Amino acid sequence: MKLGRKITGGKYKLQKKKKKYELPGHVTKVKLGEIKKKSSRTQGGNKKTILLNANFANVTNPETKKTKRVKILNVIETQANRFLARQNILIKSAIIETEIGKARITNRPSQEPTVQAVLIKEK
C-alpha cells in the first residue's frame, strides 16, 4: 500500500500539529567565497552565528600541533555527495585544497562561524 495509508486504504490522521521546537531547521549550505555570516535566534533566546560563505580555514598540522589560518582554493572531494564538491560547498569531512596542501574539514561549518580542518599527509 501507499505510504501513510491503512491496509483498507484509509488515511492516518495526525493527532497534533508539530510545535515550533519540533520543526526542522533550515538547511544552510556553506559555499566557497568571500566570508559572509548570519546570526539566528535559537531556543531559549540564545544566538547562533552560522556561515553562508567562507574562503579561509583554520588548518592544524597533526605532526607539529600548530594551527594556521589559510586560504581555501578549491573543494576536491566530498564523501557525502560528489555533486557538493562540484558546487564548492563546504561540509564536514570534505577534502579541500589550501595554500599549504590538502586538508579535511573536521567541524560543521553550517552550525559554526568558522571552518576547522586537519592537514592530510601526502603519500
State if pTM tops 0.75. yes
Bridge partners of 60, per DSSP, are 67, 118
**Is residue 17 in some structural domain?**
no
Tens of pLDDT along 84-107?
999 999 999 999 999 999 999 999
Counted residue by residue, the chain has a size of 123
**Is residue 13 in some structural domain?**
no
**Range of the structural domain that residue 90 is part of:** 24-119
| CATH number of the domain where residue 101 is located | 3.10.290.70
Q: How far is CA 59 from CA 36, 50, 91, 108, 119, in A?
A: 19, 19, 15, 14, 6
Count of structural domains within the chain: 1
| 87 within 8 A of 80, measured Cβ to Cβ | no
| 20 within 8 A of 41, measured Cβ to Cβ | no
d(CA 27, CA 29): 7
**Is residue 7 in some structural domain?**
no
**Is residue 3 in some structural domain?**
no
Tens of pLDDT along 33-77?
999 999 988 889 999 898 999 999 999 999 999 999 999 999 999
